[in-house]
């Protein structure tokens, strides 16, 4: 039993950033879809403004959780935190544009269900955001 626990612990440590990213990516998606649903379905704000409002909420949530829990960048020194935040937002703007374009095509033009489309589009966005975060934003410096 002890050997099995060590193996599970080793696997978790090996894939920790992916496991935590999927977990917090799921929570970020929940924030994104929930805010979108409230804006689009409940308050009847148009699709694109609802998408942008949800994106802003999700990016704010994702930055904090990715910084602290996924990539374990604990420093809040102004220079480092601002650089991470700017890079994070810039990368997220890129995927935000992709997300908004897909939402426009599928919801406004093809008339798919907004909330269902939002959920599907977020799967693509999560993968792209992980790659950007891992490679550019929270990349560990090699000494």
Separation of alpha carbons 38 and 54, rounded Å: 9
Provide Rg for the chain, Cα atoms.
17
Q: Could you tell me if residue 48 is inside a domain?
A: yes
Q: Could you tell me if residue 142 is inside a domain?
A: no
Separation of alpha carbons 109 and 103, rounded Å: 9
Q: Could you tell me if residue 53 is inside a domain?
A: yes
Q: Give the total number of structural domains in the chain.
A: 1
Res 142: pLDDT: 44
Res 15: pLDDT: 84
Question: Of all helices (H) and strands (E), which one includes residue 4?
Answer: helix 2-14
The model's pTM is 0.79
Q: Could you tell me if residue 143 is inside a domain?
A: no
Under-70 pLDDT residues of the chain: 1-2, 4-6, 137-143
* pLDDT, tens only, 110-122: 999 999 999 999 8
Q: Phi and psi for 82 in degrees, rounded to 5? A: -65, -45
| Residue ranges making up the domain that contains 74 | 2-137
């Amino acid at each position: 039993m002890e050997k099995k626990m060590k193996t599970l612990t080793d696997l978790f440590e090996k894939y920790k950033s992916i496991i935590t990213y999927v977990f917090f990516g799921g929570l970020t998606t929940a924030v994104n879809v929930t805010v979108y649903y409230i804006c689009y379905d409940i308050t009847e704000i148009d699709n694109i403004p609802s998408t942008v409002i949800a994106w802003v909420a999700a990016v704010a949530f994702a930055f904090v959780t990715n910084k602290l829990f996924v990539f374990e960048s604990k420093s809040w020194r102004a220079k480092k935190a601002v650089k991470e935040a700017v890079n994070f937002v810039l990368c997220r703007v890129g995927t935000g544009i992709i997300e908004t374009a897909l939402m426009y095509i599928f919801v406004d033009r093809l008339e798919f269900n907004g909330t269902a489309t939002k959920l599907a589009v977020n799967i693509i966005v999560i993968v792209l955001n992980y790659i950007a975060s891992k490679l550019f934003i929270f990349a560990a410096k090699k000494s």
